[in-house]
Amino acid sequence: MWLIGALGVVGMSSPAIWLVAVAVMWFVARDALNGGLVFYAFGSTLLAMVVGVLLFALADRLDQRRLGRPDHGDEDLTDGHV
């Protein structure tokens, strides 16, 4: 389960990596950037982020099943006990 979670974390952190890469490309080769490269960078960032969130959610759900807890999120925090 930890491997799926790790892949999810990498997928969710990839937007930051892509933003840094696009910023470096923008400053270094501003004239050479065309719309296709920018579309590819941001499109792949969005895809990586969605896949990362889904993998992280899957790992959390599998972990909840393994621990025998119901998968209800934070509902158990609203029972009046602080």
Query: Residue 1's pLDDT is what?
Result: 55
Residues in the chain: 82
Extract the tokens encoding 27: 């400053």
- The residue with tokens 């719309």 is 35
Give dist(CA 79, CA 82) in Å, integer: 9
Query: Residue 63's pLDDT is what?
Result: 79
**pLDDT single digits (tens) 9-53:** 666 666 677 677 767 766 776 666 666 766 676 677 777 777 878
Of 57, 63, 56, nearest to 1 by C-alpha is 63
- Going from N- to C-terminal start, the domains of the chain cover 2-69
Q: Label residue 74 by pLDDT band (50, 70, 90).
A: low
Q: Label residue 54 by pLDDT band (50, 70, 90).
A: confident
Give dist(CA 80, CA 69) in Å, integer: 20
